[in-house]
Structure 1
């Protein structure tokens, strides 16, 4: 089930693994409390995730359990105290808890899998496209607020792999499946020429990103058929500490929801695998993007000719 505005999945994983480490070391909870001079309830609250654990307390616990250096280092990476303050902390008053939590999770992740059913993922948007998305609501923010949101989004994009192919500053790689509808959707507005420029700028940006070795971007064409998901866009993050996909997030206009249960995360990972198999391979996806970009402004929206340009209608054909 989803947990709105709850970025604590990795903290809870630490709590679970601390309990497992205690059991494997053969210590009853009461004995750990006695050795460390704690109350038994403190041990229980830490192991159930009701309270966090400080760096000093974690070091004390690890010393009692006599864990291997590798195991101890793994647990320290999971600890909140091991994380440095992020740039988003300076925006704490203007960011929702869910959004701030998402930024923290992305900074602690090694891989992003995403399916874009309606819009490009925020990490893949141009500034002008972000502006149109922010303005596409009945309650249009002020110009100053719109500019602030764009700045935050662009700062968020710093986790992306660079043009040289290396991962982003935090080691993030991206695997994105983008529905053809995303590429063909008009951005709307009063100036058709400006609207086309925004859309074409976004297409060029996706082409540039798709050329980066650290970005696996694939197009799911209309001709591939009905996708195996009906709930729309989703994203899966892989923890850098555990190298496991451990949280799914779903973004909409008003909130961010997190899916943390292992079985549900696995379903989303499997859905992404199926979508990737349905999508065009990387090279043909870039050809598809280039063909859409080269279409005249009055080209038919369904783009059957584009499918022929890239040599087929399904991945592998």
Structure 2
């Protein structure tokens, strides 16, 4: 199996960043030399945008890359990146979010820890709407509809398709998520939490999804900063990027040291959490007590 386009592009982005650092150049200096904006250099190096072959040649020249390495780098940058469903949303979302859905769509597996709210791949439609509206920014109806449509499309990755295997998802959900009130009306709140509990039970029955509950009794989780996810691109056997998102920005970590640290923390979280079977029992008991 070959690397996904996004994996190749991100490898190229990392190598271009390393070449600039080795050449002892700042991003703004490269931009000045090539007549680009500094943001263009940054976006290429973070993988937020692809790189055109002609722009790659300019960078290879500026960094005086030896011919053998230059040829290898050219192989990482196909002339035209294949279009995907995410391209329809690229101009309607932030660069970070557009990059996230592209990377997720080209991944073979996702591991996630949900500390406050369910991961988008785990949410019901009602929860997605509540999460979107939980802000002081007052998003427009069009913005709400757009974000909900993207979330629905992301969740389709969990279903098998003719051209790909379903995305594998290993989720650890903190008990706090399942006790959080989401509506001031007690009956509405109960109905929403009951719907989520049943939804998690159904997801956990799928062969490509595991759901584990991290109970309060397990103690303090090793990652006290909150939720995070690890993406494993097709063609790789280990995660190679971590992401965390908040209301205004998505943070990507891709250095091997940081990714390895979060991979170890995820392994510890899965050990602390109830097993998938015991989690299913916990969720069924929660359904009975909530209904």
* Range class of TM-score, shorter chain: 0.7 to 0.9
Instruction: Note the C-alpha offset of 1:14.
Output: 3.9
Instruction: Note the C-alpha offset of 1:144.
Output: 2.9
Mapping for residues 149-188 of structure 1, pairs under 5 Å: 149-161=147-159, 169=164, 171-188=166-183
DSSP-derived class of the 2:237 partner: coil
Q: Give yes or no for contact 1:161–1:167 (8 Å, CA) kept in 2.
A: no
DSSP-derived class of the 1:245 partner: coil
Aligned partners of 2:269 and 2:181: how far apart in 1? 24
- CA distance 1:103–1:141, shift in 2 (3 Å): same
Mapping for residues 39-54 of structure 1, pairs under 5 Å: 52=51, 54=53
- CA distance 1:126–1:244, shift in 2 (3 Å): same
Match of 1:231 in 2: 225
Aligned partners of 1:157 and 1:168: how far apart in 2? 16
Aligned partners of 1:16 and 1:233: how far apart in 2? 25
The structure 1 residue matched to 2:117, chosen from 119, 134, 140, is 119
| Structure 2 residues not aligned, in runs of 5+ | 1-5, 17-33, 35-43, 58-66
Mapping for residues 30-45 of structure 1, pairs under 5 Å: none
Output the aligned Cα RMSD: 3.4
Instruction: Note the C-alpha offset of 1:241.
Output: 2.8
Q: Give yes or no for contact 2:7–2:233 (8 Å, CA) kept in 1.
A: no
Aligned partners of 1:12 and 1:88: how far apart in 2? 17
- CA distance 1:266–1:141, shift in 2 (3 Å): same
Match of 1:140 in 2: 138
Q: Give yes or no for contact 1:134–1:140 (8 Å, CA) kept in 2.
A: no
- CA distance 1:280–1:83, shift in 2 (3 Å): farther
Q: TM-score, normalised by structure 1?
A: 0.69
DSSP-derived class of the 1:201 partner: helix
Q: TM-score, normalised by structure 2?
A: 0.74
Q: Tell me how many residue pairs correspond in the alignment.
A: 248
Match of 1:315 in 2: none
Mapping for residues 46-125 of structure 1, pairs under 5 Å: 52=51, 54=53, 79=77, 83-125=81-123
Aligned partners of 1:168 and 1:196: how far apart in 2? 39
Aligned partners of 2:100 and 2:84: how far apart in 1? 12
Q: Give yes or no for contact 1:167–1:173 (8 Å, CA) kept in 2.
A: no
The structure 1 residue matched to 2:208, chosen from 210, 214, 225, is 214
Aligned partners of 1:89 and 1:113: how far apart in 2? 24
Aligned partners of 1:98 and 1:80: how far apart in 2? 22
The structure 2 residue matched to 1:200, chosen from 194, 201, 213, is 194
Matched, 1:277 2:274: no
DSSP-derived class of the 1:93 partner: helix
Instruction: Note the C-alpha offset of 1:12.
Output: 4.3
